[in-house]
A and B are shown apart, each in its own frame.
Chain A
Amino acid sequence: EVQLVETGGGLIQPGGSLRLSCAASGFSVSSNYMSWVRQAPGKGLEWVSIIYAGGTTYYADSVRGRFTISRDNSKNTLYLQINSLRAEDTAVYYCAGGYGSSIRWGQGTLVTISS
Chain B
Amino acid sequence: DIQMTQSPSTLSASVGDRVTITCRASQSVSNWLAWYQQKPGKAPKLLIYKASSLESGVPSRFSGSGSGTEFTLTISSLQPDDFATYYCQQYNSYSWAFGQGTKVEIK
Q: How far is B83's CA from A51's CA once the two chains are assembled, in angstroms?
A: 34
Q: Does A84 contact B (CB under 8 A)?
A: no
Q: Does A3 contact B (CB under 8 A)?
A: no
Across chains A and B, the number of contacting residue pairs, with CB separation under 8 Å, is 49
Q: Does A46 contact B (CB under 8 A)?
A: yes
Q: Does A80 contact B (CB under 8 A)?
A: no
Q: Does A20 contact B (CB under 8 A)?
A: no
Q: Does B97 contact A (CB under 8 A)?
A: yes
Q: How many residues of B contact A (CB 8 A)?
A: 20
Q: Does B95 contact A (CB under 8 A)?
A: yes
Give the interface of B toward A (CB within 8 A): 34, 36, 43-44, 46, 49-50, 53, 55, 87, 89, 91, 94-101
Q: A44-B99, A104-B46, A108-B43 are known; give 18 further A-B pairs, CB within 8 A.
A: A35-B96, A44-B87, A44-B101, A45-B98, A46-B98, A47-B95, A47-B96, A47-B98, A50-B94, A52-B94, A58-B94, A101-B49, A101-B50, A102-B34, A102-B55, A103-B91, A105-B44, A107-B43
Give the interface of A toward B (CB within 8 A): 35, 37, 44-47, 50, 52, 58, 60, 94, 98, 101-108
